[in-house]
Structure 1
Amino acid sequence: MLRSYALWIGVMLCLLAGCDPGEPTYKVDLRVRETPSVQQEDHSITYAYLPQYSHTISYQKHHQLVAYLRQKTGLNIRQIFPDTFDGHLEMVGQGKIDLSFTNPYIYIQMAHRYGAKAFARIVEKEGGARYKGQIICRADNPNIHSLEDCRGKRWIAVDPWSGGGYLFPLTLFHDHGITRSDFQEIAFSPGPGGKQEKVVLAVCAGKYDIGTIRQGTLDVVVNKIDPRAIRVLAETNWYPGWVFSSRGGLDPEIVAAVKTALLALDSKDPEHRPILEAAQIVGVIASVDADYDAVRDAVRQIDGPATP
């Protein structure tokens, strides 16, 4: 008992020794709180490739281009990756995407809803500054040989906002008197990114009778399927190509700097060639909003005059 008491006395003496009677005391009011300041990151310009392919492919195609733009403009441009076409649209509306590389169907929606402005478009090896959609089926499908044979069939498209993978083929079907109601089913490629590839794989696996993709997609999936397993049933008309656009309100000087850098890309320049080859383009030309009126006409043909 005495030993415990002595130990207690010793502890108290140690505690008292640690207190300086000359040190002022402070009253703490826990009701008053101060939010610590956080150092803000330097402002960056966000660049997004519409997720028609997987994020990995989107990165592989454009990360050299983004690095080139950073170098040429001096701007802190970084690539971000929306998961879906709808997500891309929403992020533009929220001001989270400054620069977009999209199909023309998404572009006219961004322009109508959020004031996006086209300033350049790509030139491809096949088609130049235009591109088109393709309707595909299994090569060994004995029941499909023409567009008329697509009636009553199961159709998988890329996305409701896809140009080559939905809008352009739908317009072609309408030109032949075939409407949405004539199909047994219209499905859209599931999940984030990789939508074009998934259409081809779904048709190849026999899950759907026909699929619609943009021209060039079959070249992307040559390592995943036997290309002889797929037959191109029909191709759509040509439409203006993929477009670079800026969100509404973005500083015009930023847009001008990026546009100048893009237009300077030259396939004959050994430093530029790898950039263009990775992006699977041969160059970039100037563009304006009116270049996409043909796409607006296609939308009106399908959905009526009230559409943008």
Structure 2
Amino acid sequence: MRLKKLALMGMGLILAGTLVGCGSNSENSDSSNKEKLVVQFVPTNNDGSMEAKTKPFAEYLSKKLDRDVEVTLATDYSTIVEAMASGQVDIGIMPPAAYVQAKDMGAAEAILTSELGKYDEKTGLPLEGELTSTFKGEILVKSDSSIKTLSDLKGKKIAALSPNSASGYIYPVAELKDAGIDPTTQSTITTVNDIPSEITSVLNGQMDAAFVFQGARNVFASSFPDNDLFEDLRVLYLTEGDIPNDAIAVQPSMDETLKEEVKQVFLNMTDDDEGAEAMAIWGHKGYQEAADSAYDTIRSYTKKASE
């Protein structure tokens, strides 16, 4: 009888241990059972430096969201739209015009808008501690250029970004047309890969002007150690229209709980060094709740630029 009791106790201990083990394995597999998220963004330059930054950003998001996260680079403004529309990307860090295009296709929902450092419109220098949810486009020329007015751009060579870029094409083209100058027919517009390439083409005389975003001379100063971009380049024109900043957009079908988790991770990025380092990839200084109506202006400018 005593042996029988001991045997039953032993079986009970084994069974309890098995159940505990199963519970432990279940807990450990929670994060691995969660669906992987794919994040994509458009790099500000194509020199290869952005690729190295995707891994630590992916690791940061994986840790914060407790699931596997893959971060990829879009080759240009249109590919991130296509990736969102095809469902290959769950979260897009999207330039404004690309976001609007994806939104109108039912492929993106902005959960946050980024905040950028604000610039003094006269000096072009950053305003310490001031943030903004919008920016402007700039037309840059060489400081000693004979181009003094917008009319002087007639017959000139202009470096631009993709026609899907708000500051690198849409806004300056639309406002030039408002001023009676159609750069698509009265000038020669050449599309280049990124802003450093635009700046280089103006500095070396290949191009007479470049469409860039406000503050580009600050952002890319370190890419030109042999030049003082504030000495060598000047702002011919600053767009009147304000351009909404990048959108943090998700698939509209994403689970509401997950949307909120993603939103909170981005909102809290300023609270730790890893988060701040991740934000620096795009020059973001913080995030705020998205007001989708803020992006409506993109539609009117896009229509005008394409007329």
Shorter chain as denominator, the TM-score bin is 0.7 to 0.9
Where 2:181 maps in the other structure, the secondary structure is coil
Question: RMSD of the alignment, in Å?
Answer: 2.6
**One-letter amino acid of the counterpart of residue 294, structure 1:** T
**Structure with max Cα Rg:** 1
User: Which is helix-richer, 1 or 2?
Assistant: 2
Give me the whole-angstrom Cα distance separating, in 1, the residues matched to 2:168 and 2:183.
15
TM-score by length of 2: 0.75
Residue 158 of structure 2 contacts residue 188 of structure 2 at CA under 8 Å; is this kept in 1? Answer: yes
Give me the whole-angstrom Cα distance separating, in 1, the residues matched to 2:217 and 2:52.
17
Where 1:125 maps in the other structure, the secondary structure is strand
Q: Deviations over 1:228-268 (max 9, x none)?
A: 2222111113221111111343333322210111122336x
Gaps of 5+ in 2: 1-32, 119-130
Distance 1:160 1:206, change over 3 A: same
Where 1:149 maps in the other structure, the secondary structure is helix
> How many pairs were matched up?
259
**One-letter amino acid of the counterpart of residue 187, structure 1:** T
Give me the whole-angstrom Cα distance separating, in 2, the residues matched to 1:100 and 1:242.
10
Other-structure match for 1:148: 151
Give me the whole-angstrom Cα distance separating, in 2, the residues matched to 1:271 and 1:90.
30
Give me the whole-angstrom Cα distance separating, in 1, the residues matched to 2:44 and 2:110.
19
Other-structure match for 1:291: 294
Distance 1:284 1:297, change over 3 A: same
Other-structure match for 1:124: 116
Other-structure match for 1:51: 43
Residue 167 of structure 1 contacts residue 298 of structure 1 at CA under 8 Å; is this kept in 2? Answer: yes
Distance 1:63 1:138, change over 3 A: farther
Query: Where do residues 43-122 of structure 1 align in structure 2 (5 Å cutoff)?
Result: 43-54=35-46, 56-59=48-51, 65-122=57-114
Q: Does 1:138 align with 2:138?
A: no
Distance 1:57 1:213, change over 3 A: farther
Distance 1:261 1:55, change over 3 A: farther
Residue 62 of structure 1 contacts residue 278 of structure 1 at CA under 8 Å; is this kept in 2? Answer: no
TM-score by length of 1: 0.75
Give me the whole-angstrom Cα distance separating, in 2, the residues matched to 1:57 and 1:262.
23
Give me the whole-angstrom Cα distance separating, in 1, the residues matched to 2:37 and 2:47.
19
Residue 171 of structure 2 contacts residue 305 of structure 2 at CA under 8 Å; is this kept in 1? Answer: no
Give me the whole-angstrom Cα distance separating, in 2, the residues matched to 1:63 and 1:283.
21
Residue 139 of structure 2 contacts residue 212 of structure 2 at CA under 8 Å; is this kept in 1? Answer: yes
Give me the whole-angstrom Cα distance separating, in 2, the residues matched to 1:44 and 1:230.
45
Q: Aligned-pair distance for 1:79?
A: 0.8
Give me the whole-angstrom Cα distance separating, in 2, the residues matched to 1:46 and 1:65.
12
Q: Does 1:216 align with 2:220?
A: no
Other-structure match for 1:162: 165
Gaps of 5+ in 1: 1-40
Q: Aligned-pair distance for 1:119?
A: 0.8
Q: What percentage of residue pairs aligned between the two structures are identical?
A: 21
Distance 1:60 1:136, change over 3 A: farther
